[in-house]
Each structure stands twice: as C-alpha cells, then as structure tokens.
Amino acid sequence: MKELGLYVHIPFCLRKCSYCDFVSYPFRGEGEEFFSLLCEELWLKVHALRLEGRKVCSVYFGGGTPSILAPSLFGDFLRKLRSYFALSFPLEVTLEVNPETVTETRLLEWREAGILRLSLGVQSFAPRYLFLLGRSASPETLHRALQKVVASGWENWNIDLIYGLPLQDFDSWGEDLSEALRYAPPHISVYNLTLSPVVPLFSFFRRHCRLFPPCDKQAYLFRFAEEQLAAAGYVHYEVSNFARPGYECQHNLLYWKNGEYLGLGPSSWSHVGGKRQKNAETLRGYRKALKDGRCPIVFEEELSQEEKIFEDFLLLLRTRQGIPLSLVYSFRNQDLLNLLSAFVAEGLLLEEDGRLYPSSSGFLLLHQMLAEVFARRAASPLQDLLHGGKRRHSSAK
C-alpha cells in the first residue's frame, strides 16, 4: 500500500504579508479550539477514506504561521496520529516558522513535540524588501533567529528566499544568497515573486511594473542562484528547491511524484485513492461543517487512469529525477514524442539512464514547456478525458 503524507494548514498569522494569497487570519489565541477541529476532521476522513493503518511518511504544518501556536499542540496532534496510522521512523515532520517566533525555548519545545524539520520564511535580508513584502522582522531579527537555529544544533532546516523584487540586481540578490549561505542551511528554497490580483502588492506592481525585473532578468537571477548554490554543494533537485545530499524535503517530493496525501484544515487539498478533494476555503465554513458533523469537503474529482498517468508525467518533469521513457512512450502520441525530442535537441531536456529530466535551461523554461505539452496533447484521443464531461465533480453536503 502506498505511503501517505499529511498536510495541515494552520490559517493564523501575526500579520498578513503583502504578497501572500494563502488563507490566513489574525491569530486571537484560538489554537486549542482549532486543533480540536483538526482532530475531528482527521477522524471523519480516516473513516470515510478507509485510511486506518496506512503508513504515514511525512507531516507538514503549513500556513499561515504555524509557529505562533503552542508547541504542545503539535505534540498532542502527532500522538493522535499514532492511533490511526503506522508512522515512519524517523518521521519527517516539517513546521513552517516565522523567524520572529524563534527562541531557544521554542526550539527545544518543537523538538520535544516531534518536529524534525523547520522551514524559515526569511524571503530577504534587505530592509527595503522586507518592508515591501510586508514582513515585520528586521534583518537583525532574522540573523538572531538563524543564529539560534544553528547554535541549537538543529539538523534539518530550510531557508526561503524570493527573487524578482523591484530594482533587484545581481549585487542585491547575491547579498541575500551570501547571507543565507553564512548559516549553511541543509536546504534552500528559491521562489520567484508571483503576485495574485487579490494581494496588496499587486496594485503596486500595476502602477510600477517597470521597477520589477523583466522575465529575462529574472532568468539570469535564477541562473545566478543556481550557480552559487551548486558551488556551495547544493543539488538542484526540484524547480525551486536546493538541498545538500540527503536533505531533500520528502513531503515536497511526495507531491512531485504524485503520491497520496491527506489535507487537513481550511483550503487544503487531498489526493487519496485516485480522487482529489478540496476543503472549505474559509475558517467559518470549515468550522461550521465540522460542528455539524460533516467533512469540510466542497469539491471532489475522480481521475481516470489516463489522467493520472499524465499528471505523473507533468509533476515528475519538475524534478531532477525526471520521467522514465517508458512513461513517455505510454501516451502513443507522436506529436508529443516529437515535441519532447525537440526539447532534447534544444538542450532543455536531458536523456540519461532511460529517463528525461530538465537541464538548467529547462528549469527556467519549464512553464512554457508544460504549456506546449498540454497543447500537443490536445491532439490525443485522451483530450476528452482531460477537458470534457467525463470528469466527475461533486460538492459534499
């Protein structure tokens, strides 16, 4: 039976960042009440999806800002999991952390609660970018937090950085990378700034779009980061993620391998038994469903075998592991095969040991490549399954 990952969305923050479109609310001390809702949802879904006894390989507490909640809540929740699942040992348990919440005491309490991996949302060390992004931490706060993590001997942890910021050049981006590398984190995530129209920073972008690096400049910034991180011993194992060997995020790899995962909390998604399910977006809707004794699912779709294979293809293409040629040939779509051959000829995909995986240039152009793959697949007999009425949708009552 396939291993299962758990994603738990904690929708509370100290303040909303200007670029963030994730579901979150100001924290008003409702941690215990929220975790009681999570436990109720867990019970309902374990029984509805027949998940008793499944082996869980990873747990990821995301948000929001999970680190503002009492560490004991995470420990209690992880103990609850043992009554339903067989847990891998060691179990990768990741906690997203706001650097402002890092103290020596919290680091000890997180470890005692069962957290094995931290992901620190640094984003930038430059005061102007912290202000622009709506981050409340100062550079001094960031450095103190990172120093505490290193001094505590924490083994597995990550730093998030963002590029594509206004007036960002190689010097300013290089400073952020250098500051991060000073602390030698086992894992670094490098994200391109992507703005939804609903976030406050989007209106600034519309008025001052010329201040933001154009696409070709962003590509150079990304390539620069790739070179700097490779020189420091990091492996570029997924589009936005770099790790020292052995410290790849297993939960994220589960997503890119199209594995099965159970989502808990508002706005979370699940992928179990060939079905995708989405929870209620709002905390109010999520709470009401559970208070009424119902799963908070508002959307469900069941994937055909052909759709599942195509998703495997698209998701694996995001990783350095790549896709097996046997999976490519299973489509029997000559247009698609010709397109992939063209990508190989152009150096965007590399073929090695019976697999195709993106080159450095391929990672940069991955979105365009995937768009072309979708277009070529339109000529396939499976197109009706991808876009047509054979998909089954339902809303949970």
241-243 and 187-192 as β-strands: parallel, antiparallel, unpaired?
Answer: antiparallel
Q: Which two tokens stand for residue 225?
A: 């980061």
Q: Is residue 283 part of a domain?
A: no
How many structural domains does the chain have?
2
Domain end point (choices 227, 255, 283): 255
Q: Could you tell me which of 117, 172, 178 has the C-alpha nearest to residue 149? A: 117
Q: Is residue 279 part of a domain?
A: no
Question: Does residue 192 sit in helix, strand or coil?
Answer: strand
Question: Do residues 68 and 179 share a domain?
Answer: yes
Q: Is residue 300 part of a domain?
A: no
Q: Is residue 284 part of a domain?
A: no
Domain end point (choices 209, 234, 255): 255
Do 321 and 283 touch, CB atoms closer than 8 A?
A: no
Question: Do residues 237 and 338 share a domain?
Answer: no
Helix spans in 232-355 (H): 250-256, 283-291, 305-316, 325-329, 334-345
Question: Do residues 339 and 200 share a domain?
Answer: no
Question: Do residues 333 and 245 share a domain?
Answer: no
Give dist(CA 360, CA 366) in Å, integer: 10
Which residue range is the domain that position 236 belongs to?
Answer: 4-255
What is the 8-class DSSP label of residue 319? B
Give dist(CA 361, CA 262) in Å, integer: 34
CATH number at residue 153: 3.80.30.20
For 345, half-sphere exposure in the C-beta direction (CA atoms, 13 angstrom radius) is: 6
* 38, 80, 295 from 42: Cα distances, Å: 6, 9, 9
Q: Is residue 129 part of a domain?
A: yes
What is the reported pTM? 0.91
Q: Is residue 31 part of a domain?
A: yes
Do 60 and 269 touch, CB atoms closer than 8 A?
A: no
Convert the pLDDT of each residue in 340-352 to its tens digit: 899 999 999 999 9
Question: Do residues 247 and 330 share a domain?
Answer: no
Question: Do residues 377 and 251 share a domain?
Answer: no
Do 294 and 45 touch, CB atoms closer than 8 A?
A: no
Q: Can you give the pLDDT at residue 378?
A: 54
Convert the pLDDT of each residue in 217-248 to its tens digit: 999 999 999 999 999 999 999 999 999 999 99
Per-residue pLDDT tens, the chain, 397 aa: give them.
789 999 999 999 988 999 999 999 999 999 999 999 999 999 999 999 999 999 999 999 999 999 999 999 999 999 999 999 999 999 999 999 999 999 999 999 999 999 999 999 999 999 999 999 999 899 999 999 999 999 999 999 999 999 999 999 999 999 999 999 999 999 999 999 999 999 999 999 999 999 999 989 999 999 999 999 999 999 999 999 999 999 999 999 999 999 999 999 999 999 999 899 999 999 999 999 999 999 999 999 998 887 888 888 888 988 999 999 888 887 777 888 888 899 999 999 999 999 999 998 898 888 888 888 877 765 443 333 233 333 222 323 2
Q: Can you give the pLDDT at residue 380?
A: 43
Domain end point (choices 255, 286, 302): 255
Q: Can you give the pLDDT at residue 396?
A: 30
Return the residue matching tokens 């962003």.
Answer: 218
Question: Do residues 185 and 90 share a domain?
Answer: yes
Give dist(CA 256, CA 250) in Å, integer: 10
Q: Is residue 341 part of a domain?
A: yes
